[in-house]
A and B are shown apart, each in its own frame.
Chain A
Amino acid sequence: MNGVFDLGGTDGMGKVQTVENEPVFRAEWEKAAFAMFSNCFRAGFFGVDAFRHSIEQMEPADYLLSNYYEHWVHVVESRGSAKGVIDLAELEQRTKFYLDNPDAPLPRREDPELLAFVDAVVKSGAPANRPTDKIARFKVGDRVTISADSPRGHTRRARYIRGRTGEITGAHGAAIYPDSAGNDGPEAPEHLYTVRFTAEELWGPETAEPNNTVYFDVWEPYLTLAS
């Protein structure tokens, strides 16, 4: 989908605001929001592609103005509600309760298996590469053009590379296809490549900086061979 999250090349976003010695988590609630990702992944709320697409569907102004981990909270609310696990009216009520009673305790529950899962998933991750018997249609050195299509759903075809031509510099085998998995479809693995674009190709000769290239990973259905 075309949305504000697709930020590459957007102007007017201001200066980069770095913070010296920024803590990993700036507030206790950020820890809980961070933990919700892996805990709710385990509970089947989303895969990583659907997680991203849920963030993309935030109200555009909310997306830009909210704290980063609020994006994650949005996903848990939205996907949890769609799965029938989180009742949004109850969430509002209980939010009001904790606003009025900030020191009220959380419910207690023990779950050693969840703790073991946390340690295991941090160590091993969840790889996205997949075996395939599809023959790769492209190879390193090919010049390819990115499809100019604007899909309505989830895609990793950022706007700034659409319709642009570059050279394949890496071929990585097949991986889960976000344009399927991110829209709640099957994994549908497709061959994955890295494409190198010149700044002139992306931004035009007037504003491109000199001696600059951008590398971007693309799935095979995005590509056609350039003439």
Chain B
Amino acid sequence: MAQPTDTPLRTQEEITARVKALEAMLIEKGIMTTEAIDRLAEIYENEVGPQLGAQVVARAWTDPEFKERLLADASAACAEMGIGGLQGEEMVVVENTDTVHNAIVCTLCSCYPWPVLGLPPNWYKAPAYRSRIVREPRKVLAEDFGFPIPDEVEVRIWDSSSELRYWVLPQRPAGTEDLGAFELAALVTRDSMIGVGPVGTP
């Protein structure tokens, strides 16, 4: 189906040339280097991503005292595990329970907790999700993500309008009592920490 925002403004060739030209000027002005680009890409492609958030969730599931600290001050608790930094200076973890389901959005731009989830997927930054998740979250979760939330469970949407960075502590799935933190972390999906998808099953 055609989308209202399907037709790109510029071709990839045009964007590529324009960014390269801008890059060349910033390099000559002493503002940028190609090594800095490569380093940043390396960090967010290979070092900082949802595998870090998954480790935090798995620890919270297996260590009640850590979970308490995480819900009280997420940045401090994550720092214990060496996790934190840019776009997660003040993180807030919101907990899913039998009666509450949480999901995050940034309706005004694209704020997202980089240190635990990495850079956001494109759908998170695009108009469809940002416009609709605050107005018809049950419909979006059920129809767009195939993840219906029962009516008796309250849906809480966290619109990240300040520098606080919200993310979701999903519920530990049943039947995982025998798993250790390492196996549990493998079940934790990026979408479950955004609040738009389930945790995996063992």
Q: Do A and B come from one complex?
A: yes
Give A residues with C-beta under 8 Å from B: 5-19, 22-29, 31-36, 38-40, 42-43, 48, 52, 55, 61-62, 64-68, 70, 73, 76-77, 80, 85-87, 90-91, 94-99, 102, 106-111, 114-115, 118-119, 121-129, 156, 158, 160, 170, 172, 175-176, 192, 194, 202-203, 207, 209-219
Interface positions of B from 122 to 155, Cβ below 8 Å from A:
122-123, 125-132, 134-140, 143-145, 151-155
Residue from B14, B109, B155 in contact with A211 in the complex, judged by beta carbons closer than 8 Å: B155
B108 to chain A, nearest CB (A): 6
Residue from A7, A61, A70, A85 in contact with B10 in the complex, judged by beta carbons closer than 8 Å: A70
Interface positions of B from 157 to 172, Cβ below 8 Å from A:
157-164, 166
Q: Are the CB atoms of A34 and B140 closer together than 8 Å?
A: no
Known: A16-B129, A98-B17. A43 touches B31 (CB 8 A): yes
Q: Are the CB atoms of B31 and A40 closer together than 8 Å?
A: yes
* Dominant SS among interface residues on chain A: mixed
Q: Are the CB atoms of A98 and B21 closer together than 8 Å?
A: yes
B157 to chain A, nearest CB (A): 5
B96 to chain A, nearest CB (A): 14
Q: Are the CB atoms of B161 and A24 closer together than 8 Å?
A: no
A29 nearest in chain B by CB position? B19
Q: Are the CB atoms of B40 and A31 closer together than 8 Å?
A: yes
User: Does B72 belong to the interface (CB within 8 Å)?
Assistant: no
Q: Are the CB atoms of A34 and B41 closer together than 8 Å?
A: yes
Complex Cα gap A76–B32 (Å): 12
User: Does B177 belong to the interface (CB within 8 Å)?
Assistant: no
Quick check: which of B22-30, B51-59, B181-189 contacts chain A, the rest being far away? B22-30
User: Does B4 belong to the interface (CB within 8 Å)?
Assistant: yes
Q: Which residues of B contact A156 (CB under 8 A)?
A: 108, 161-162
B39 to chain A, nearest CB (A): 5
Residue from A12, A106, A108, A211 in contact with B23 in the complex, judged by beta carbons closer than 8 Å: A106
Q: Which of A32, A80, A110, A194 has the most CB of B within 10 A?
A: A32
A160 nearest in chain B by CB position? B134
B95 to chain A, nearest CB (A): 13
User: Does B65 belong to the interface (CB within 8 Å)?
Assistant: no
Known: A31-B41, A68-B122, A122-B48. A107 touches B128 (CB 8 A): no
Q: Are the CB atoms of B40 and A35 closer together than 8 Å?
A: yes
User: Does B87 belong to the interface (CB within 8 Å)?
Assistant: yes
Q: Which of B5, B40, B90 has the most CB of A within 10 A?
A: B40
User: Does B84 belong to the interface (CB within 8 Å)?
Assistant: yes
Q: Are the CB atoms of B138 and A212 closer together than 8 Å?
A: yes
Nearest 5 interchain pairs by C-beta:
A8-B107, A217-B162, A94-B21, A128-B163, A98-B17
